[in-house]
Each structure stands twice: as structure tokens, then as C-alpha cells.
Amino acid sequence: MRAQDAYSCIKARRTSREYIRRRVSRSVISKIIRAATLAPSAHNSQPWLFYLIDSERVRRNLVDSMLHAWEVAMTEDGRGSELISVTLAKFKKRFISAPVLIVCALDRSLLYFDRYREEGRKRYEEILGHHSLAAAVENALLMATALGVSACWYSAPLFCQDAVRNVLQLDKEVEPAILLTLGYARSKPRPKRIRPLALILRTV
């Protein structure tokens, strides 16, 4: 593969939150997830699970449960009722209308917690797991771009893990962390503003 082809795909990746009414085929979804599984992972543990929400009933239960958890949390945080209402309506529309919804989770049972006695080092092992999952999701985003599919990465499940676990009936060792929406973009995303290389690359 030419370096320019790889760079062009990376550069073309953009976040899209609104999609046209066009089905994403199962074969395309499978290619995207297969690309995700080729990501590097700590100890080659491959500690990821992907839940494709295929049932409309499950989708609505999942979205409603997540939004309820957010509503409780935002109320406890002292957010105004109008802001809460607008926020919940915005995300409900996005999640319900997206052609594809995938919950990306960390399977903690595949991590090497038993290697460590000290709790701090066990915590680092969990961070390694999340690093691995994030690498897999980035692979998925790039493969989606290569296939002409747009996507949006939401870290929303981190803030309502119990709600997601209950709806999907996840094992206690499975930690939902990322929600991906996939589809064909309704409009062309705006150019992304990138911080200058001189501000982020340090020579020491």
C-alpha cells in the first residue's frame, strides 16, 4: 500500500452525526469490524467485544435507558431543565435515526490482572485495555472511511454503564465504553482544524 493512500484515508476521516436513509449492508459492517480486530492490543489480549444493535426494540430500550441515566446525572449536577430537555432530545434523535448502532466494550476477563499484586498496577492494566479498544475503534473508523461510510464515536456508555449492561444483559466483566453510529453522511463535514505540528511535536 502506498503511503499517500494511507494518509489520504486518514485525512478523509471525519465525524458525521446525521445520515441519509440508506442501509449499510451486513458485509460492509463485517469488514469494518474485521478491520477493528486487526488493531494492536496489550499482550495481544484482543480485549474487545462489539454489539451490533439489530433489533429495533433493543435499540429503543438501550437509548431510553441511557437517556434516563443521563437525565438523573444531569439533574444531580444541577443542570437546568431546559438544557437537559434539549440535550436528551438531540441525542435521542441521533441514536434512533442512525442506520447502524454498535456498542464497543472492553472484556476485562481477557486482561492480565492476576500478574499484579498492587492495585495501582492493576489499574494500569485496565487502562491498557481501554487503549487497545480505542485502537480497534480507530481501525473501524478508518475502514469505514475507505468504504465510503461515515461514523461518529461517542463515549456515552462510560457515563451510563449499568443502563447499557442491563439492556444488553452483559456479563459483569464486560465494560461498555464506546457507542458507534454508522451510515452515509447527509452532508459533507466541515474541514477539520488541526493544531500546528510545531505546537505538538517536541524534540527533547
Residue 87 has pLDDT above 90, yes or no: yes
**What confidence tier does 2 reach under pLDDT thresholds 50, 70, 90?**
confident
The set of cell numbers assigned to 104 is 464497543
- Give the H/E segment covering residue 187: none
Per-residue pLDDT tens over the stretch 21-51: 999 999 999 999 999 999 999 999 999 999 9
Say how far apart CA 111 and CA 129 lie, in whole Å.
Answer: 7
Domains of the chain by start residue, with CATH = 28-182 (3.40.109.10)
Quote the pLDDT of residue 188: 87
Residue 1 pLDDT > 80, yes or no? no
pTM higher than the cut 0.85: yes
Residue labelled with grid coordinates 439492556? 167
pLDDT, one tens digit per residue, over 164-200 is: 999 999 999 999 999 999 999 999 888 888 999 999 9
The pair phi, psi for residue 176, each rounded to 5°, is: -65, 135
